Chains A and B, each alone.
Chain A
Amino acid sequence: MQGILMNKNNLSWSPIILLLFMGFFQISFGEKSQISGKIIDENRQPLAGVNIAIDGTVLGAASDLQGSFSIQRVPAGPITVVISMIGYQTEKRSITIEPQTVLDIGVIQLFPKPISLETVVVTASKYEQQVQDVPASLGLISRSDLQLRNILTIDRALQYVPGVNMNASQMNIRGSSGYSRGVGTRVFFLIDGIPILTGDTREVSYDVIPTHLIERIEIVKGAGSALYGSSALGGVVNIITRDIRQSPQMYFKYYLGRHSKSAFSQWNWSDDTQNYSGFSGNISHKFKNLGIQLGGNYDKDDGYRQNDTRKRYSGSGKLEYDFSPYHQITFAGNYMEQDRDEFLYWKDFQHALQPPADQLGNKVETKRYYLTGQYRYIMSKNQFLVIKGIWFRNRFRDNIANNQGSGNDSKSSNLYSEVQYTSRLKHISLTTGVSGNADAVASNIFGNHSGSSFAGYFQAEGLVLHQVRLTTGVRMDYFRMDSVESDYQINPKFGAVYTPYAGTALRTSVSWGFRAPSLAEVFTSTDASGFQVIPNTHLKPENSTSFEIGINQIFRDHYTFDIASFHSRYRNLIEGEFLPTGEIQFQNITAATIWGIEATINGAFLENKLFGNLSYTYVNPRDKETNDYLKFRPRHLFYVNLNQIVKKFQVALDYRFIKKYDRIDEKFALLIEDAEQRVDAHIVDLRLLWNVKINPVPFRVTFQINNILRYHYVDLVGSLAPLRGFTLTLETGF
């Protein structure tokens, strides 16, 4: 009874609190105004998709097909309008708005500037920074990169980033990760700054975020646990989704394609053709201060290998509400279902596109969904507060025979929340925050277990002598898992950027990272497909220290050159180890050092009609225990990309060279026939685009041939990478 009364009391207060909040925000909206304008390009043609933001507020818009934009509910007083678009120079206009007015700021012309000092990233410090102010190496994938390559899942986009290669589905930045059988990523993944890792394996689900929602992807290379905590040993990937625009936006894509047969008739397993197709679309609109975005997609793939089909559909939504120009709350979510066959490894090298007979018919059903919430409060031009969180739920079921004979069924949840406060003083930016994380799993593989962690962090960044920017920070994480001893980690970082001239930046940083073992690594107990895995409740966290020194130079806005030398030390690395009895157990077995160099050159020529980039990465990954190479690390990566625009057409080409692994897990040979088969990879992708407008809706038609040379290589052990694929894509958006 008392409980009910208390609830009633609480309920009775709720409307009052709500009214107080509404009243407070109404005051902020009291003297609203509106600004509008038009953006044109260097040929004085309307420029669509340009971001227009009002500095120090949550307000913004994008230009429509006519280049026009308008922003409502603008606060009266002096404001700065920032107009930006990737590939163009950034414009700023300082104006003063009178109360209750509509102000046309006129026509603003943007000129192409593909390489800009003003490119802004948010991942390195949890707030906006220009690229040359960051003391670490960065990678960027733009929305147009995703569209031009018809990227369906994020892992396919990451494989073009300098210094990155994918070991099957596991991301390896500069040798940080080998292959850990789908558990325990050493790269931390975020969506809009919110961690998105599964609760059971602490792995990345590349298929849970539809690529048509993405604005850009930022990659920070090197350990990042001083800000992000566990899993950020090798780097951090942040997926930034698109904002909701003031004007109605619509986007639709349809694609279809076909897998080539192998160049060798022995490997072809079917006379039928193997096709793939799919569509995606989304709409968004902002009704006064409420923005809504809805989207969905469907993908179907017959697979180039036997027992490798896949069907996936998902639906997504985003709600954004501006309480005032300074308060915004956003909710976003996605629901994904996937049915796929399971191809683990080949039958033998003579049957490289077929699984062993006892694995035919293996299937996996997956359901994943997440809900994120983010509240942004811009307290002043120099202070902001962010409260954010995520609930991420995963379930997979398969029919793979195991020692219980009934297939596997696993459900896991991850709940995360964080409060971040940033303050900018005259020359110093201070960021501090606290976060909490909870994981739970109910599974016949991992058992029924839970884990949690809490953390606090602090970072300071300041400009010294106008030319040197120093960064320092520290984070403490406390974590526990049921039936396992609790533990804590303290990880600091230091960085410096020296800018002697505009366009020249010398950087250095040293940072610490750690990864707490996942529930899966500690508790897995299964016997499937020839692998028997047993638990290990004595696992400790693995640690890393990364040092980097580099220089970034921009020449005449047309070329950038970046070279970095890096050195990392790893301790207590967790690897799945075959025991003398034949089982696999995750153990802290290895200490390692990895050093290397990375050089990248970007250039734009022919009045920005031709642009390209070239990168080379060398890593020397040494296992200190065995004095041998680390497993599953290619030592040389060489990537080239070239794009040329010819009127309404664009031709693009990617070439990637990936040196073959020096070492694989030799024990795989006990289970996988011909496990030692591997070669250097030479992969060439070619694309031809045609941009056309039909009254006045823009369409883009893309013809794409991936792996045009039909080069056969393995992407792990006993697994041929995708053969040549032909894809035709039609896109429209307005």
Chain B
Amino acid sequence: MFEQIKSISSWVFLFIIILFLHCDKGLSPENVEPPFTGIRGTVYFINWPAPNNPPPDTVFDVRLILFPDFPPADFADEILSGRAVLYPTLNDEKLPIPLDSLDYQIPLQPGRYEYFAVARQYGDNLFADWHVVGHYDTTFSDTLPTPIQINQGQLLDSINILANFDSVLFEL
């Protein structure tokens, strides 16, 4: 009888181990953050308007924006529909302006972005008073922006932009 109890308890002990372990599958691809997909780089700012200048030289806000098309469709529609990517997002705090430079890293969905711009809000209308003071352009022979192609798991580095508050490149 004592021997049989030992037999049963041995197997019970092992099956408890198995049950205990059953839920754990060890390594799992689901526990791993997917590789970062997006861009990063630096925006250099020059010619900030004087803080005490009256409108239209006032800077209410500065954001980076990626549009799927160029020229972009209506600014407000693109932002609200989520087709354009805003950095910082509307839920995030504004950039602490003025800045000499900004190091950024923006997560993106894979795809092609035709226009990557630095936009300045020059009036109090959040959905209308924006123009572009700098955009990503690797070709100096023209003023057209350079599109960005992002693949899954790809991080494009050194996407740098010069933002010049003395020149308006595009009205949004």
Contact = CB atoms under 8 A, between A and B. Distances in A.
Contact of A264 (B3, B7, B30): B30
Given A642-B14, A655-B14, A681 B26 contact: yes
A711 B26 contact: yes
Interface string A666-687: 0000000010011101101000
A605 B27 contact: no
Contacts of A642: 10-11, 14
A369 B86 CA distance: 68
B3 A709 contact: no
A580 B10 CA distance: 54
Given A655-B14, A684-B18, A709-B21, A644 B7 contact: yes
Interface string B93-108: 0000000000000000
Contact of A712 (B10, B21, B26, B34): B26
Interface string B123-141: 0000000000000000000
Q: Main SS of chain B's interface residues?
A: helix
B18 to A, nearest CB: 6
Contacts of A712: 25-28
A352 B29 CA distance: 9
A679 B27 contact: yes
A266 interface: yes
A605 B7 contact: yes
Contacts of B34: 350
Interface in A682-728: 682, 684, 708-714, 720
B32 to A, nearest CB: 6
Given A610-B7, A679-B26, A349 B21 contact: no
Contacts of B4: 606
Contacts of B7: 605-606, 610, 644
Contacts of B32: 349-350, 674, 677
Contact of B29 (A349, A612, A644, A711): A349
Contacts of B10: 610, 612, 642
What size tier do the contact residues of chain B reach?
Answer: 20 to 34
Interface in B11-59: 11, 14, 17-18, 21-22, 24-30, 32, 34
A210 to B, nearest CB: 32
A682 to B, nearest CB: 5
Contacts of B30: 264, 266
B26 A713 contact: yes
B154 to A, nearest CB: 13
Contacts of A239: none
A267 interface: yes
Contacts of B25: 263-264, 709-712
A212 B22 CA distance: 34
A197 interface: no
B33 to A, nearest CB: 11
A682 B25 CA distance: 9
Contacts of B26: 679, 681-682, 711-713
A720 B27 CA distance: 9
A640 interface: yes
A714 B3 CA distance: 39
A352 B14 contact: no
Contacts of A674: 32
B30 to A, nearest CB: 7
A385 interface: no
18 contacts: A264-B28, A352-B27, A352-B29, A605-B3, A606-B3, A606-B4, A610-B6, A610-B7, A642-B14, A644-B11, A655-B14, A655-B17, A674-B32, A677-B27, A679-B26, A682-B26, A709-B21, A709-B22
Given A264-B28, A605-B3, A642-B10, 13 more contacts: A350-B29, A352-B29, A610-B6, A642-B11, A644-B11, A655-B17, A678-B27, A679-B27, A682-B24, A684-B21, A709-B24, A714-B27, A720-B27
The 9 closest A-B pairs by CB, nearest first: A712-B26, A712-B27, A711-B26, A266-B29, A682-B21, A610-B7, A713-B26, A606-B3, A263-B25
